[in-house]
Amino acid sequence: MRCLTLANILKERGAAVSFICRNERGNLCAEIAEAGFAVEVLGSAHELGDGRRDAEETRGALQRLGVHPDLLVVDHYSLDRRWEHALRSAAGRILVIDDLADRPHDCDVLLDSSLHDCAQSRYAGLVGERTRVFVGPQYALLRPEFDRTAARVRDRGVGRMLIFFGGADPSNEALKAVHALRALAARAPRTVMVLGPINPRAGLIRQAASGLTGIELLGVTGDMAGLMADADLALGACGGAAWERCILGLPALVAVTAENQRDDSRILHSLGAVRNLGDAAETTAEMWAAEIAAMLEDPAALAAMSRAARAVMQGREEARRDFEHALVR
């Protein structure tokens, strides 16, 4: 999804953009094509090894597409400097999107839009001296509607709530949230729950929510910015949605559903922008209900969280200009 956002940004600036994806379970090839971009689909590969085979297949895909790109973007946690070096001659420049900092890269630009304790030195020794490194949520690849939608401070309590735990929700937080709403009964705020398109338990969640008043379940939405703008409190994780919430000043109760969310969740909690319930594997419906109830009873805390969330994204306009300039120069 972040690559689709980047593709649209580049397209608006006159670039022709193509995608190369593997035919793995949960792929978004149809969504990419529907957005108007060419997609070259490679066969599935359970083991990428050192990436050499993938690099060869990627080079073949570029030849089939008939392009020698000015910019090659790689967004994959299993690919590293060996893959990038193998494709150096196939592209003008290389952009790596990463947030793990656990392997070396051969690239011209590196983007990590997560929060880290030592952002400036995070990729020291992992990239070349000339690599432009952009670290921090102010560089997050957000769809344009998030920058266009007005932020607001939630200073009137929790009237509406939004629940979204990403595409797959591996720890089944959405179902826990439904049980939490049942426990809150009449105190539960009006709620919109967005179930990701590849959530394997969507049917079970809908069944559990049957009969609950004040909750609307959506399979997909094209207006996440509008839903976030309307909400006073969110339940979710700290993937890319964290920066969407922050730019709109939306406070959140979060759980860690993936290892690369751990720093974001911890630091956002320390900044007062979220309340972090910890590892999703250990959360319960009772924990979610207790945290929601606490926010219902403390409008001042909600407003403080909202202001803290907005502060996370300070400097975004200048940061975005610097990053985009680094891509097109």
Residue-wise pLDDT tens digits, 135-186? 999 999 999 899 999 999 999 999 999 999 987 888 999 999 999 999 999 9
Q: Is the pLDDT of residue 246 over 90?
A: yes
Coil vs helix vs strand at 265 = helix
Same domain, 84 and 183: no
The predicted structure's pLDDT at residue 141: 95
Q: Contact, 103 vs 81, CB < 8 A?
A: yes
Cβ count near 56 (within 10 Å): 12
Specify which residues 191 forms β-bridges with.
Answer: 161, 215
The predicted structure's pLDDT at residue 152: 96
CATH number of the domain that 101 lies in?
A: 3.40.50.11190
Same domain, 185 and 113: no
Q: Mean pLDDT of all residues in the chain?
A: 94
Same domain, 116 and 185: no
Q: What pLDDT, in 10s, does the model give residues 89-142?
A: 999 999 999 999 999 999 999 999 999 999 989 999 999 999 999 999 999 999
- Residue range of the domain that includes 154: 146-312
- Hunting for tokens 């964290």 — which residue is that? 242
Per-residue pLDDT, averaged over 207-217, amounts to 94
Same domain, 281 and 304: yes
Same domain, 179 and 281: yes
| End-to-end CA separation in angstroms for the chain | 24
**How does residue 199 score in pLDDT terms, banded at 50, 70 and 90?**
confident
Name the strand (E) or helix (H) holding 232.
none
Q: Is the pLDDT of residue 213 over 80?
A: yes
DSSP letter for 23, please: -
Same domain, 132 and 152: no
Helix axes 285-296, 173-184, angle to 10 degrees: 50
Q: Contact, 18 vs 67, CB < 8 A?
A: yes
Per-residue pLDDT, averaged over 227-249, amounts to 96
Per-residue pLDDT, averaged over 205-232, amounts to 93
The predicted structure's pLDDT at residue 315: 95
What lies within 8 Å, CB to CB, of 108 at 6+ separation is 93, 94, 95, 130, 131, 132
The predicted structure's pLDDT at residue 217: 95
Name the strand (E) or helix (H) holding 316.
helix 316-328
The predicted structure's pLDDT at residue 168: 81
Coil vs helix vs strand at 33 = helix
Q: How many domains does the chain have?
A: 2
Coil vs helix vs strand at 13 = coil
Q: Contact, 115 vs 273, CB < 8 A?
A: no
Q: Which of 180, 160, 162 is nearest to 172 (CA)?
A: 180
Same domain, 74 and 163: no
Which amino acid does the sequence have at 298? D
Residue 31 has φ and ψ, to the nearest 5°, of: -65, -35
Residue 289 has φ and ψ, to the nearest 5°, of: -60, -40
Same domain, 136 and 166: no
Same domain, 158 and 134: no
Question: Using CA atoms, how far apart are residues 234 and 215, in angstroms rounded to an integer?
Answer: 14
**How does residue 313 score in pLDDT terms, banded at 50, 70 and 90?**
very high
Same domain, 47 and 166: no
**How does residue 257 score in pLDDT terms, banded at 50, 70 and 90?**
very high
CATH number of the domain that 283 lies in?
A: 3.40.50.2000
Question: In which order are the strands placed within the sheet that holds 93-97?
Answer: 71-74, 93-97, 109-112, 132-135
The predicted structure's pLDDT at residue 154: 98
Same domain, 152 and 301: yes
**How does residue 25 score in pLDDT terms, banded at 50, 70 and 90?**
confident
Same domain, 151 and 124: no
